[in-house]
Structure 1
């Protein structure tokens, strides 16, 4: 295995990887951090090779490590053995993963979005919580959705928190970004249905008709769908609340809607 060894926290490469916790640095470099050998292998298996592969001494003997190293070197990436302290600083966790990969971000254009095996696409308007976003990407992957579209000012899907929540699905689900106007113009050419959720809706999610391919359009955690976004929907539905709680977590509600639209 060909790698160099870094033991200093002040090393320039270590500093650059640590800086990827900041959105400004991710935006400027187009890179992000994925933690864990499983996630690194998921990236490789879906055609995404690491630019940098950092690993602790204990990871060398893992049977999948050689695959990760070979893929990184084949893509002219860098393989670096580091200390536990460096891994902890890079991941900002006391018990870090033994492997960390630095990958290029991969957004697709709106006109490249396809409905996928499930004949469904998820669109999120101004989603704020990276944990919610990552969980939704994972659910979209599980259901076979073709893409997740981020509409308006959303949190970063390539933040460490969002990537963790995707459990590797960050590499499997195409991500697109659009302004509200760009999304509205693209939606006008959509051949299937667009369905959203509204508290004021009279149709329940289980009774609605979902013409495929379907777009599941969800609003943000605090406001839900704005009137302009709701107006883009062919039908707005509600998920019944049968207990004392009057709302659902966004990722849970989106999961329910994804499976309703893909049934």
Structure 2
């Protein structure tokens, strides 16, 4: 299929692509936007190829871009060329990357997860900042976690901001979304350990020091909302509560940072 040229801002395809920056349109279409050659290459290497590939006309040649275009065409996708100005309109950035792609969302139910595929899993409850969400995905990738489970009302992991902040980890990590009342029975009923998985949270309630805590895999590291933390009953449902020392005046860490600190400690403990 030949590349399609788009030269007008009022083109219906441009309007459609722009609409994917809004959650209601993403959910209606079941599609989301991602931008940048490195990020789209990570997606391709993980077996996810964009349905639509949009490239700037004045882009520099690159073998990875050639490979990406070939993969899109092989899957029957569409390749579009357009100006930098129109690409900026699509992505909402004044200095956009020279390539963007449209991907179909995938199954984010708990049943799609294999908890025994990794020793570490990250779990976020009511996480509202897409930057924090993306950071947790990157952390999961860095420590070899199985993925990220989003509990209750979290930021949209398929938003442009969260995908960008994940630096490609949205494609390398498994992703699931569920309500707490669904997640907890799933965790407790699964195979792999006495309770299906150890649920661990940073807390001050009957907590033990995080450096000497008895972690067991698969370990599910739970962090709460940025401003309110975890609800009390969520903390009490955890198998293990740990505390991290705060040596200065701050009384807590950023949610994503706390998750990263715990994840590396669990990694060191479980080997």
What TM-score, normalized to structure 2?
A: 0.93
Deviates more, 1:203-212 or 1:186-195: 186-195
> Is 1:219 aligned with 2:244?
no
1:189-218: CA deviation from partner (whole Å, max 9, x where unpaired): 242311011134431211211011111011
**What is the correspondence of 1:148-227 to structure 2 with a 5 Å cutoff?**
148-190=148-190, 191=193, 192-227=197-232
CA drift of 1:222 comes to: 1.1
In 1, Cα distance between equivalents of 2:27 and 2:204: 35
CA drift of 1:115 comes to: 4.0
Q: Secondary structure at the match of 1:262?
A: helix
Deviates more, 1:112-121 or 1:81-90: 112-121
CA RMSD of the aligned region, Å? 1.5
Extract unaligned runs of 5+ from structure 1: none
Note closer, same or farther for the CA distance 1:262–1:116 as it changes in structure 2 (3 Å cut).
farther
Q: Conserved in 2, the CA contact under 8 Å of 1:116 and 1:144?
A: no
In 2, Cα distance between equivalents of 1:168 and 1:58: 24
Partner residue of 1:127?
127
Note closer, same or farther for the CA distance 1:117–1:46 as it changes in structure 2 (3 Å cut).
same
> Is 1:43 aligned with 2:43?
yes
Extract unaligned runs of 5+ from structure 2: none
- Stretches (4+) displaced over 3 A: 115-118, 199-202
CA drift of 1:154 comes to: 0.8
**What is the correspondence of 1:11-160 to structure 2 with a 5 Å cutoff?**
11-59=11-59, 61-115=61-115, 118-160=118-160
Q: Conserved in 2, the CA contact under 8 Å of 1:117 and 1:144?
A: no
Count of aligned pairs: 263
CA drift of 1:60 comes to: 5.8
CA drift of 1:225 comes to: 1.2
